[in-house]
Amino acid sequence: MIWTAVLLMAVVSHVNSVDYCYNEPHCDTYAWGDKFPSCHPLLEEHHSPINLDHQMTRNESLGPLHLEGFDEIQTGHWTLYNDGHSVVLQVGSGMSVSGGGLPDVYHTMQLHFHWGGPATNGSEHTVDRRRYPMEMHIVNMKSIHPNLSVALDDPTGLAVLGFFIDVVYADNVNFGHISQKLSSVAYNGQITKVKPFSLMSLLPKHNMSQYYRYYGSLTTPPCSQAVVWTLYEVPIYISWSQLAQFTSQIFSTEEDAEQVTPLQNNFRHIHPTFSRIVSVSKDGRLLTGTAGRPLRSAVSVLQIVLLGSFVSKL
Ligand SMILES: *[C@@H]1O[C@H](CO)[C@@H](O)[C@H](O)[C@H]1NC(C)=O
Ligand SMILES: *[C@@H]1O[C@H](CO)[C@@H](O)[C@H](O)[C@H]1NC(C)=O
Ligand SMILES: *[C@@H]1O[C@H](CO)[C@@H](O)[C@H](O)[C@H]1NC(C)=O
Ligand SMILES: *[C@@H]1O[C@H](CO)[C@@H](O)[C@H](O)[C@H]1NC(C)=O
Ligand SMILES: [Zn+2]
């Protein structure tokens, strides 16, 4: 157990030494490409996140995923830590995801969150341009790979399950397993033990066969194009106060830092889909909003701006 903690500390401090951020111009999401070339928004590259809109294709063969072990309670303990960019829950081995058109079995490694600020939403993916308050990512690695560096060289090396998080008045009791522990990982580098619980209890009870599927990238450096994305249509609901614990009580700075900086708006900007197909599962709903056309031209303007800023750096 102690060795696990020591190893994790090493992981955490290693991650901290990597220089990227969300909110300062010299290291924000548009500047990531300066230090991490694979984060550059080149034409026809397949980055994440994206806006989910009307350009979708139904795929009748996409049924529900098989979430092995998600409804069991593991022995031992899990680890929750603040790596300065998010709050990460590292789970034990024994859970995996497969089916639903995934090309293989993927072992579940960790889950983490993206959020906004006191007055802004912070999901990474948007639905018809709407940004949800938060997004949770369950990260799974293809079981044939020995480690993450090998998985990141495989275009389908990771399967990430994305859940939008929306807000209601009532607390989500199951979410309390995480939110009650947040004060122990308020500062960058802090780490705490969490008693294992059923991961399924965090997820929407119904409608798990309704999802979107596309091929994309990590949304943090090195932005590797190695992810099969599954975005569930129906969100998880938490309370305003549970949301506020993320948006105002987590810091990107260490506890003894002279200046304390809240960790807010830790989401990457939206990327063009280019020629990619975004599929809707058999039971999913095709989006039927009205905002399609004007928004697509807004995306083209953004693409031009992005390319302009890239070319100017060459
Ligand atoms: C539908 O999904 C399956 C499983 O991922 C895939 O093999 C197939 O190519 C998809 N069909 C279309 C038309 O995209
Ligand atoms: C932010 O989230 C709230 C709560 O779900 C929603 O009502 C609002 O429309 C969202 N705002 C944006 C700009 O997407
Ligand atoms: C990952 O596994 C590969 C293949 O076994 C090995 O060569 C490499 O050193 C490993 N990388 C790390 C960071 O452990
Ligand atoms: C969830 O699934 C039920 C039953 O399949 C369906 O009636 C309902 O409309 C779905 N909810 C959403 C938000 O799609
Ligand atoms: Zn993420």
Please tell me the distance from the alpha carbon of residue 90 to that of residue 111, in angstroms, as a whole number.
7
* pLDDT, average across residues 118-122: 96
CB distance 191 to 80 below 8 Å = yes
Q: What is the CA 237 to chain-centroid distance, rounded?
A: 17
| Tens-digit pLDDT profile for residues 247-277 | 999 999 999 999 999 999 999 999 999 999 9
- Does the pTM surpass 0.85? The reply is yes
* pLDDT, average across residues 13-42: 82
CATH of the domain at 190: 3.10.200.10
pLDDT higher than threshold 60 for residue 4: no
Active site annotation includes 85: yes
Please tell me the distance from the alpha carbon of residue 242 to that of residue 180, in angstroms, as a whole number.
9
Q: Measured from the CA of 133, which atom of ligand 2 is nearest?
A: 2
Q: What is the pLDDT of residue 286?
A: 80
Tokens 């969300």 -> residue: 22
Q: What is the CA 264 to chain-centroid distance, rounded?
A: 14
pLDDT higher than threshold 90 for residue 155: yes
- Beta strand segments in the chain, E: 51-52, 56-58, 65-68, 78-82, 87-90, 96-99, 106-115, 126-127, 130-131, 134-142, 158-168, 191-194, 211-216, 227-239, 278-280
Domain carrying residue 190 = 2-313
Query: For the chain, what percent of residues have pLDDT higher than 70?
Result: 86
Q: Which ligand is nearest to the CA of 152?
A: 3
Picking from 110, 89, 107, 90, the residue whose alpha carbon sits closest to that of residue 98 is 107
Please tell me the distance from the alpha carbon of residue 287 to that of residue 52, in angstroms, as a whole number.
8
| Tens-digit pLDDT profile for residues 188-210 | 999 999 999 999 999 999 999 99
pLDDT higher than threshold 90 for residue 11: no
| Tens-digit pLDDT profile for residues 128-146 | 999 999 999 999 999 999 9
Task: Kindly name the residue from 46, 85, 145, 177 that is annotated as catalytic.
Answer: 85
Radius of gyration, alpha carbons of the chain: 19
Counting the structural domains of the chain, the total is 1
Please tell me the distance from the alpha carbon of residue 179 to that of residue 158, in angstroms, as a whole number.
26
| Tens-digit pLDDT profile for residues 285-297 | 987 643 333 333 3
Q: What is the pLDDT of residue 296?
A: 39
Q: Which ligand is nearest to the CA of 240?
A: 2
Task: Grade residue 41 by pLDDT with cuts at 50, 70 and 90.
Answer: confident
